[in-house]
């Protein structure tokens, strides 16, 4: 039974709001921070006797030392009190467990989304197994221990039975795990290692992809259970589930490479990635994002939107127009993060190199350096869009609303977003007036256009600022603290990936993402076939006849 009631205060700082979950020996509460107004935390209460003290402290010390995007941060620890209860204070992850997501999908999880989550877990397992001085074996990977936050990032929680790997140990002190997901060696007295976690990853994927069956009872190949699944994906899961650890993938990085080879895109082995153009055209929806003037935040908004859409669908592509001064490659720290052999879609080969993909988002920045760029006409664009294989394509056009190429792209789009910020004097420029006139024409012609207010601050003139647009803003994005932007820059990451900022942006964009997504669609957009591909195809045919 939960020991703390709503309103109870821990250590004079954390006030309990409600119970989030109850386990065998633990309770997790949602708590308000009385010092940092508006901040909320998850507080894990663990009940134990004196013999558990070492294990509880070890878990806390282990978590405090860890730092990864797919792990919650631990901010406080209180050792056992007189009643035998200790408390961990950690990030509150607003979202759902992978098990809850699976149930919401009607127990028919989309294969590409399962693979996307598995790829994120491979990144985390690589960090736990090889990215530290002392490897950590998690030992309890299962859908109920994986959270999905508002940005579509998975977070691994509950390190209660994780252990540090000791190469000179023949067996674990305790053989613990969840039947159905734990590796066979966890119940045979043998030592667990990184390959034990990889088995659990395979068991979890098997469960999600088979409609809820456990491999340890079914004992059938995933391909046998679900013939419609891609053969390469089934082969990867089967290898993860080998009885003998020596026959499994030997590292999370190796498993990740196998899953990446399956996922749709250039070089992928999934037959769907070689589908006919008419089949490929059924899913992608094109959204153009542009600014009314320089500095309003078209690129910032495009990235925020792509992350919100990827969280709901498992996939999104972001493409940057090459006009003006491209900046997406630099903002993404492409020199460090782009895959080896990467080429830009604006190059002569049309971006035929490896796809740059992270957390379900495929990035297509324009080449940042100056120089002559090939024209990005309809046929070239058509080939590129076919290759993307994503439910959504977000195109960042900067301030280029008026060029013939931009107009053609906007004509093909399912929606256009016009971004503005509180620096209202910029609206008085002739260029901004021309863009507003163009946007009004688009609206009159029936094109769905949404105004996005960016960098919103709490000022007395806020309502007057928002009233300057011809229509109310569909979304109002919060101003991001400049210190957080600088800190993210020095850390070589996007400020959008900071959990608190990610949650705020996803919430601000929800009026639009709720229009375009449905929770029961299995990660597919709710609107009908994209008309842009047939229009483009018709233009190409007419131009050749």
Q: Is 133 exposed, middle or buried (0-12, 13-18, 19+ CB in 10 A)?
A: exposed
Annotation says 197 is catalytic: no
254: which 2 tokens? Answer: 């190796």
Q: Are strands 392-398 and 146-149 parallel, antiparallel or unpaired?
A: unpaired
- 3-class DSSP state of 69: coil
357: which 2 tokens? Answer: 């993909």
Task: Answer for the pair 243, 273: CB distance below 8 angstroms, yes or no.
Answer: no
Q: Is 460 exposed, middle or buried (0-12, 13-18, 19+ CB in 10 A)?
A: exposed
Cα(373)–Cα(471) distance, rounded to whole angstroms? 37
**Extended beta strands in 135-243, E state:** 136-137, 146-149, 154-156, 163-164
Given the residues 32, 52, 83, 140, select the one marked as catalytic: 140
For residue 61, count other CB atoms closer than 10 A to its CB: 11
Cα(382)–Cα(537) distance, rounded to whole angstroms? 8
For residue 3, count other CB atoms closer than 10 A to its CB: 14
What lies within 8 Å, CB to CB, of 531 at 6+ separation is: none
Task: Answer for the pair 321, 397: CB distance below 8 angstroms, yes or no.
Answer: yes
Cα(465)–Cα(29) distance, rounded to whole angstroms? 40
CA dihedral for 503, 86, 22, 38, sign (positive or negative): negative
**Extended beta strands in 285-332, E state:** 285-291, 316-320
344: which 2 tokens? Answer: 């830009």
Least Cα distance to 474 among 289, 282, 241 occurs for 289
Catalytic residues: 140
């Amino acid at each position: 039974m939960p020991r703390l009631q709503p309103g109870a205060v821990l250590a004079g700082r954390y006030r309990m709001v409600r119970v989030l979950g109850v386990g065998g020996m633990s309770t997790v509460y949602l708590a308000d921070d009385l010092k940092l107004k508006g901040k909320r935390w998850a507080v894990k209460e663990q009940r134990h006797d004196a013999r558990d003290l070492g294990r509880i402290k070890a878990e806390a010390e282990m978590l405090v030392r860890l730092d990864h995007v797919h792990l919650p941060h631990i901010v406080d620890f209180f050792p056992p009190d007189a009643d035998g209860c200790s408390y961990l204070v950690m990030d509150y992850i607003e979202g759902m467990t992978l098990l809850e997501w699976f149930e919401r999908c009607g127990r028919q999880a989309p294969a590409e989304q399962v693979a996307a989550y598995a790829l994120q877990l491979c990144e985390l397992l690589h960090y736990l197994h090889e990215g530290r001085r002392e490897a950590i074996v998690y030992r309890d990977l299962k859908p109920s221990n994986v959270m999905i936050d508002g940005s579509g990032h998975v977070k691994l929680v509950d390190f209660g039975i994780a252990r540090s790997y000791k190469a000179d140990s023949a067996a674990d002190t305790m053989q613990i795990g969840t039947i159905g997901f734990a590796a066979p060696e966890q119940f045979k007295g043998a030592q667990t290692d990184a390959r034990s976690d990889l088995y659990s990853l395979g068991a979890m994927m098997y469960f999600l992809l088979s409609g809820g069956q456990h491999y340890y009872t079914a004992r059938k190949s995933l391909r046998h259970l679900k013939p419609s699944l891609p053969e390469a994906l089934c082969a990867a899961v089967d290898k993860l589930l080998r009885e003998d650890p020596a026959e499994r993938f030997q590292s999370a990085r190796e498993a990740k490479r196998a899953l990446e080879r399956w996922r749709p895109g250039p070089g992928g082995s999934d037959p769907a990635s070689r589908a006919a153009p008419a089949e490929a055209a059924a899913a992608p929806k094109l959204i153009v994002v542009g600014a009314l003037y320089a500095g309003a935040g078209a690129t910032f908004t495009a990235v925020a939107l792509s992350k919100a859409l990827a969280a709901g669908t498992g996939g999104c592509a972001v493409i940057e127009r090459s006009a003006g001064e491209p900046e997406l490659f630099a903002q993404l720290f492409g020199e460090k993060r782009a895959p080896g052999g990467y080429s830009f879609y604006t190059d002569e080969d049309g971006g035929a190199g490896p796809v740059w993909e992270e957390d379900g988002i495929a990035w297509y920045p324009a080449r940042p350096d100056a120089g002559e760029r090939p024209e990005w006409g309809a046929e070239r664009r058509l080939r590129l869009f076919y290759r993307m294989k994503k439910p959504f394509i977000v195109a960042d056009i900067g301030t280029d609303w008026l060029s013939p190429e931009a107009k053609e792209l906007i004509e093909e789009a399912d929606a256009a977003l016009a971004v503005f910020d509180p620096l209202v004097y910029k609206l008085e420029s002739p260029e901004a007036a021309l863009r507003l006139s163009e946007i009004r024409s688009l609206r009159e012609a029936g094109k769905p256009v949404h105004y996005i207010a960016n960098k919103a601050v709490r000022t007395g003139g806020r309502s007057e600022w928002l009233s300057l647009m011809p229509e109310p803003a569909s979304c109002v994005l919060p101003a991001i603290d400049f210190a957080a932007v600088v800190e993210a820059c020095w850390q070589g990451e996007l400020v959008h990936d900071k959990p608190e900022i990610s949650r705020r942006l996803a919430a601000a964009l929800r009026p639009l993402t709720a229009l375009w997504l449905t929770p029961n669609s299995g990660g597919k957009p709710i609107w009908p076939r994209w008309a842009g591909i047939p229009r483009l195809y018709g233009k190409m045919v007419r131009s050749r006849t």
